[in-house]
């Protein structure tokens, strides 16, 4: 069975006999062998072919041995390749100088075959171990660099998340599917219904009033089924005040796991609830005033009647059902007046100056023309900031009287 080569050895020697001996010796020891007879051929070979170790004779003809070693150590191709000097010189000073040139060993001639093989194998083993150690250190440094990069990104992401949470006015709770509270984040402790030690580790059913707890448990249950649930609303009495909250719940990871956790976001919506109540109260006043008016009064949104009083229904013959079905204001306007009336309507919505009152003949449901004096103004109704309230006064009798007067006293 053919064995893999132990490595590639470059032998540099100008003595053909030494080259032959080393070539055969190393080949028999299962090494791949390259040869060079002088410094110039050595430098050419190392540019084209990669060797694992170099046996360099000190006495070569064209380049000083130590100069050649210096060049080899200065080349990117052979800087890390171990060099063993070969020489008939055995003086200690020669050996020391060789080692000072970063050679790894020194073998004197005539050499023993076993010594050559043993020293080559030893230094190849050391070199390979050094390369493995360098590779491991390089990979370790890459892993350390990558870990540091990931840790930096995680720290930055954590700091950003923490800053975001601190900027939120909402309260976050970590709960399980049974409503047990495991953790929380609040912008301030005063925003909590009770001190943390009184609710951590307990279910909401144990700490909150039954009605609020039931809404929260139902919301958590829906989130477990669907992954998230938003918009649940509940209230709590805190001292003499009633605070309103909006609850949104989302699952963390696998909602079906036995230890599944959820994140509950609680937002105080008391101010919006109070504003909503005030708006409803204000709109109720609108309705009362409109209903009490003897003249037709309507509220328009996008050209459609949203609210009409009884006087409008009696005068024009439309029913509340007609209004609910989307009765449009311009259905009461004659065809030849529609463009002018629409222009005035849009200008008023845009905040432009238009006459406060104007006369127009409106069409009743039965087709009767009813002369009206109208006055309009912008209001806010059901959250819309650009709605129109119009008062319509029937001036039929006034017009008849005016016509009669003109007939009696013609100009």
Mean pLDDT of the chain: 86
Q: What is the pLDDT of residues 66-96, one digit of tens each?
A: 788 888 888 888 888 999 988 776 666 666 7
309 and 262 share one domain: no
Better-predicted residue by pLDDT, 334 or 100: 334
What pLDDT score does 101 carry?
Answer: 75
**CATH assignment of the domain containing 244:** 3.30.450.20
342 and 227 share one domain: no
Strand pairing partners for 250?
228, 263
Rounded to the nearest 5 degrees, what angle is found at the Cα of 126, between the Cα atoms of 122 and 127?
Answer: 115
211 and 332 share one domain: no
123 and 187 share one domain: no
Better-predicted residue by pLDDT, 364 or 102: 364
**Average pLDDT of 202-216?**
94
126 and 175 share one domain: no
- In sequence order, what E strands does 93-136 have? 105-108
Residue span of the structural domain in which 340 resides: 276-406
- Is 158 a domain residue? no
- Is 159 a domain residue? no
What pLDDT score does 399 carry?
Answer: 87
- Is 391 a domain residue? yes
| Confidence label for 114 from pLDDT (cuts 50, 70 and 90) | very high
Domain-terminating residue out of 268, 285, 305: 268
236 and 332 share one domain: no
Cα separation of 317 and 319, whole Å? 7
Q: Is pLDDT of 409 > 90? A: no
245 and 298 share one domain: no
Q: What is the pLDDT of residues 294-330, one digit of tens each?
A: 999 998 888 888 889 999 999 999 999 999 999 999 9
399 and 283 share one domain: yes
Write the DSSP symbol of residue 4: P
| Confidence label for 187 from pLDDT (cuts 50, 70 and 90) | confident
Q: Is pLDDT of 287 > 80? A: no
186 and 115 share one domain: no
- Is 144 a domain residue? no
229 and 281 share one domain: no
Domain-terminating residue out of 134, 151, 176: 134
SS3 270: helix
What pLDDT score does 264 carry?
Answer: 93
SS3 347: helix
What pLDDT score does 4 carry?
Answer: 67
- Is 45 a domain residue? yes
Cα separation of 127 and 54, whole Å? 12
Domain count, the chain: 3
Concatenating the DSSP letter of every residue in 363-404 gives: EPTTS-EEEEEEEEEEEEETTEEEEEEEEEEE-HHHHHHHHH
| Confidence label for 1 from pLDDT (cuts 50, 70 and 90) | very low
Give the whole-number percent of the chain exceeding pLDDT 70: 93
Domain-terminating residue out of 268, 288, 317: 268
290 and 377 share one domain: yes
Q: Which of 200-204, 228-232, 245-249, 402-406 has the lowest mean pLDDT?
A: 402-406
- Is 296 a domain residue? yes
- Is 143 a domain residue? no
- Is 386 a domain residue? yes
Q: Is pLDDT of 258 > 80? A: no
Q: Is pLDDT of 402 > 90? A: no
Q: Is pLDDT of 364 > 50? A: yes
What pLDDT score does 22 carry?
Answer: 92
402 and 295 share one domain: yes
**CATH assignment of the domain containing 81:** 3.40.50.2300
In contact, 248 and 228? CB cutoff 8 Å: yes
């Amino acid at each position: 069975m053919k064995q893999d080569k132990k490595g590639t050895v470059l032998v540099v020697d100008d003595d053909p006999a030494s080259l032959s001996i080393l070539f055969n010796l190393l080949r028999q020891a299962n090494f791949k062998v390259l040869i060079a007879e002088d410094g110039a051929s050595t430098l050419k070979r190392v540019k084209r072919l990669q060797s694992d170790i170099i046996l360099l004779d000190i006495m070569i003809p064209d380049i000083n041995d130590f100069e050649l070693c210096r060049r080899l150590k200065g080349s990117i191709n052979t800087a890390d390749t171990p060099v063993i000097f070969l020489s008939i010189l055995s003086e200690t000073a020669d050996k020391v100088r060789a080692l000072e040139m970063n050679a790894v060993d020194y073998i004197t001639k005539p050499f023993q075959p076993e010594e050559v093989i043993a020293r080559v194998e030893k230094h190849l083993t050391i070199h390979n171990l050094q390369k493995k150690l360098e590779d491991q250190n390089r990979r370790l440094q890459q892993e350390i660099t990558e870990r540091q990069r990931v840790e930096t990104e995680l720290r930055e992401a954590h700091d950003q998340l923490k800053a975001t949470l601190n900027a939120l006015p909402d309260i976050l709770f970590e709960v399980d599917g049974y409503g047990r509270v495991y953790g929380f984040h609040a912008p301030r402790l005063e925003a909590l219904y009770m001190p943390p030690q009184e609710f951590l580790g307990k279910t909401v059913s144990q700490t909150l009033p039954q009605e609020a707890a039931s809404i929260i448990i139902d919301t958590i249950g829906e989130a477990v089924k669907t992954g998230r649930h938003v918009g649940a609303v509940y209230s709590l009495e805190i001292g003499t005040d009633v605070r309103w909250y909006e609850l949104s719940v989302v699952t963390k990871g696998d909602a079906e796991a036995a230890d599944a956790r959820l994140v509950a976001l609680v937002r105080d919506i008391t101010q919006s609830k109070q504003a909503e109540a005030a708006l409803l109260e204000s709109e109720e006043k609108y309705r009362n005033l409109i209903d009490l008016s003897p003249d037709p009064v309507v509220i328009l949104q996008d050209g459609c009647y949203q609210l009409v009083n009884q006087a409008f229904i009696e005068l024009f013959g439309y029913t509340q059902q007609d209004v609910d079905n989307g009765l449009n204001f311009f259905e009461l306007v004659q065809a030849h007046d529609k463009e002018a009336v629409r222009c005035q309507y849009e200008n008023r919505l845009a905040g432009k100056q238009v006459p406060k009152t104007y006369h127009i003949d409106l069409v009743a449901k039965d087709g009767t023309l009813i002369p009206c004096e109208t006055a309009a103004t912008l209001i806010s109704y059901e959250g819309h900031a650009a709605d129109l309230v119009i008062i319509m006064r029937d001036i039929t009798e006034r017009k008849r009287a005016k016509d009669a007067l003109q007939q009696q006293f013609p100009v």
